[in-house]
Amino acid sequence: YYFNRKTGESRWEKPEGEGDEPQIRVCHLLVKHNQSRRPSSWKEANITRTKEEALEIIKGYRERIVNGEITLQELAKTESDCSSAKHGGDLGFFGRGRMQPSFEEAAFALQVNQLSEPVFSDSGVHLILRIA
C-alpha cells in the first residue's frame, strides 16, 4: 500500500517515477504507551504503561545498546511493540513522506550506523538505528 502525503493519493501499485528520491533503511525498537494511537501490540493486548514509563524503558534499552550488551536488532526481536520485531525491527528502505513526520525527521538526520536518542511519535517511543 502506498500513500503520497503531498498529493493525498493512495494506491496498491508502486507509483512510477519515485525511484530517484533518497532512500534510507532503518531498524527500530518501539515501546508503546497508553496514549499511543493503538495501545496494543503482538506482545500485549492492552498497554497501560504511561508515556513517561515508556521513555524510561527506551532509555534503559539505549544504554544497553550503547554499552555493547546487545544490538538493537536483537533487542527489537523480543522487546519491540512493532510487528517489525520479527525482522529485528528492520523497516526496509523508504523515502520521505512514508513515515510519521517525527520518526522520518529523526531517521533522515542519522548517519549510517548511528543510533537515535528517544523519538516520540503517535505510535509511541522509538529508538532508531540507520543501517543504510
Catalytic machinery residues:
28, 82, 100, 123, 126
Average pLDDT, the chain: 93
Please list the residues that pair with 126 across neighbouring strands: 30, 119
Q: Which of 8-12, 20-24, 36-40 has the highest mean pLDDT?
A: 36-40
Among 125, 114, 120, 123, CA closest to 26: 114
Domain 22-130 sits in CATH 3.10.50.40: yes
* Domain residue spans of the chain: 22-130
Q: Over 80: is that where the pLDDT of 6 sits?
A: no
Burial of 23 (0-12, 13-18, 19+ CB in 10 A): middle
What whole-number distance in Å separates Cα of residue 92 and Cα of residue 95? 10
- Average pLDDT on 35-42 reads 97
- Cβ–Cβ < 8 Å for 131, 91: no
